[in-house]
Structure 1
Amino acid sequence: MRGVGEEIKSRTADHVPPQKQNKTPVSRSRSKSSLLVHLSFSLSPISRMAEASTEYLKLFVAETTWYNEIVLGSIVPGDAWRRLPHFFQSWLRNFLGGTLVYFLSGFLWCLVIYYWKRNVYVPKEAIPTNHAMYLQIIVAMKAMPWYSALPSISEYMIESGWTRSFATIGEVGWPMYFVNLAVYLVIVEFGIYWMHRELHDIKPLYKWLHATHHIYNKQNTLSPFAGLAFHPLDGILQAVPHVLALFIVPCHFTTHVAAIFCEAVWTANIHDCIHGKVWPVMGAGYHTIHHTTYRHNYGHYTVWMDWMFGTLRDPEEDEHLKKS
């Protein structure tokens, strides 16, 4: 430590004019050297923490890079996509992956309920026409590039360390993982309920955004393909709670990515008009009522938010009222 101080003193002396050298107190020079040495040691833990944080964030980047390799490497011919910036690779992967999930879930659902189990789940007169489903696909595919931006942005924020996401379940353990997941889903459910409700209650939002989705207001106009047939901004707004939750509760990164993509499957399910009668799930029976009354059943996964805020309407009670 003395050698460092003497070196700093000698360097300082070399840069001080000769006439002022004798006027500088020795104690001041020693104090300055001690401060520099102290700072060099006190900053090193901060530097190490920053380095560790950077290394940790690389885990998220490595995971999204792996997703890109799997999806783009399997679908996109050639290697041109590898020259894209990482963010645009992720957007392209989300776009292609989302499109694939949308069509697979939609076609499989339609194959089962409209053809394989024809007249079992849905009466013949309630089956939507191929033209109606084609129009729903057009609306959804126009919005898909914009939908794909939201998970890409959320991944970027996670990779940048702006959220409370964690990379592996082992960091928190399985009990806390499920606690965090439950809180995450409650936040998402609450957020989607109120976002959806405000898209109805605020008239300009309904007129310019949500009305695009509500042209499907009868059983024979609803199909699994209507699940993503929204105005692009409408679809994004209803998915925003998934992103906001990342800033509130610790969330496993892979689980968040999976939850976003499961939305395509879930929205296909709740637009097939089949009442599954699985309490407290907000299934298609509840959501069909929403498309016909416009004032009930705004919830997403469960009936709880509608029950809490007085907007729940049960499909069986509704059917009983129609018959009476």
Structure 2
Amino acid sequence: MGEYLQEFVDETTWYNNLVLGSLLPSKLWDPLPHILQTWLRNYIAGNLLYFISGFLWCFYIYYLKRHVYLPKDAIPTNKAMLLQIYVAMKAMPWYCALPTLSEYMVENGWTRCYASISDIGWVMYAVYLFIYLAVVEFGIYWMHRELHDIKPLYKYLHATHHIYNKQNTLSPFAGLAFHPLDGILQAVPHVIALFIIPTHFRTHIGLLFLEGIWTTNIHDCIHGNLWPIMGAGYHTIHHTTYRHNYGHYTIWMDWMLGTLRDPIDEEDKKVM
């Protein structure tokens, strides 16, 4: 078992060396304990992902394609985006504690993670991945909904994110503009799932990386209309009504529980 767990440690060490070794002198990070190296790697990678994806997407939709996807009055001001960046930067050190903790638990054998797809085969990998995503979807839906329904949670945590409640206040940078505990709670289902479902460790890391890109995308107010994806059109409605479209990647939970509101239907109502 010790040799098998060492595979996880070797993998996280490689990730640490890849990020930290490429950006920092070794004397700044090499003496740190492994868990602090992991946190520092997550912090640097998280910031890079946030700023690169945010700036590229803003440059594309607000400048290269200005007025193509959004009307002029729907484009947020630079002041609004800078405020979102400020809120996200205050929370980022805390956000990075969760994946650091999850990697620590994996390395110590506390979860059901496995190191290689060859351990179980591609068929079971696909089955377990589907179950993992379903559990995460279920968990994030209910966590998000309770952050609205439980008044103290909304008042002291989630309201920080919902000051962005119109098209001209939402931007890709709003994706991580949460109270730190709010952001962590909404990501916790990713970690809880590791204790329930056999999960490929590298896929888990990749899905956390995808979260950073996804949350940028769903705050740009552009409705992609790719069924059954819970895209930005749905999420914009969530920010304006507060009572609909709590889902994460798909519309299924909202559809089953009666909280779905379709952006196409909303447009039809405006026309009528």
TM range (shorter): over 0.9
Aligned AA (2:79): H
What's the counterpart of residue 80 of structure 2?
Answer: 132
Aligned AA (1:295): R
| Cα separation, 2, equivalents of 1:299 and 1:183 | 16
| Cα separation, 2, equivalents of 1:115 and 1:70 | 33
Matched, 1:314 2:223: no
| Cα separation, 1, equivalents of 2:163 and 2:200 | 37
1:25-45: per-residue Cα shift (whole Å, max 9, x none)? Answer: xxxxxxxxxxxxxxxxxxxxx
Matched, 1:300 2:248: yes
TM-fit CA distance, 1:121 = 0.7
Give the one of 106, 112, 115 matched to 1:158: 106
TM-fit CA distance, 1:283 = 0.1
> What does 1:209-288 align with in structure 2 at a 5 Å threshold?
209-288=157-236
| Cα separation, 2, equivalents of 1:134 and 1:264 | 18
Aligned AA (1:73): G
Matched, 1:185 2:125: no
Q: CA RMSD in A?
A: 0.6
SS at match of 1:83: coil
| Cα separation, 2, equivalents of 1:109 and 1:254 | 26
Which structure's relative contact order is higher, taking Cα pairs within 8 Å and 6+ residues apart? 2
1:147-184: per-residue Cα shift (whole Å, max 9, x none)? Answer: 00000000000000000000001111111111111000
Give the one of 25, 28, 46 matched to 1:77: 25
SS at match of 2:30: helix
| Cα separation, 1, equivalents of 2:23 and 2:123 | 37
What's the counterpart of residue 10 of structure 1?
Answer: none
What's the counterpart of residue 145 of structure 1?
Answer: 93
Matched, 1:204 2:152: yes
Runs of 4+ in 1 over 3 A off after TM superposition: none
TM-fit CA distance, 1:262 = 1.0
Identity score, percent: 72
| Cα separation, 1, equivalents of 2:49 and 2:100 | 16
1:62-99: per-residue Cα shift (whole Å, max 9, x none)? Answer: 00000000000111234220110000000000000000
Gaps of 5+ in 1: 1-52
Report the CA distance shift for 1:283/1:212 in structure 2 as closer, same or farther (over 3 A).
same
More displaced 10-residue stretch of structure 1: 175-184 or 198-207: 175-184
Gaps of 5+ in 2: none
1:227-282: per-residue Cα shift (whole Å, max 9, x none)? Answer: 00000000000000000000110000000011111111000000000000000000
With normalisation by structure 1, the TM-score equals: 0.83
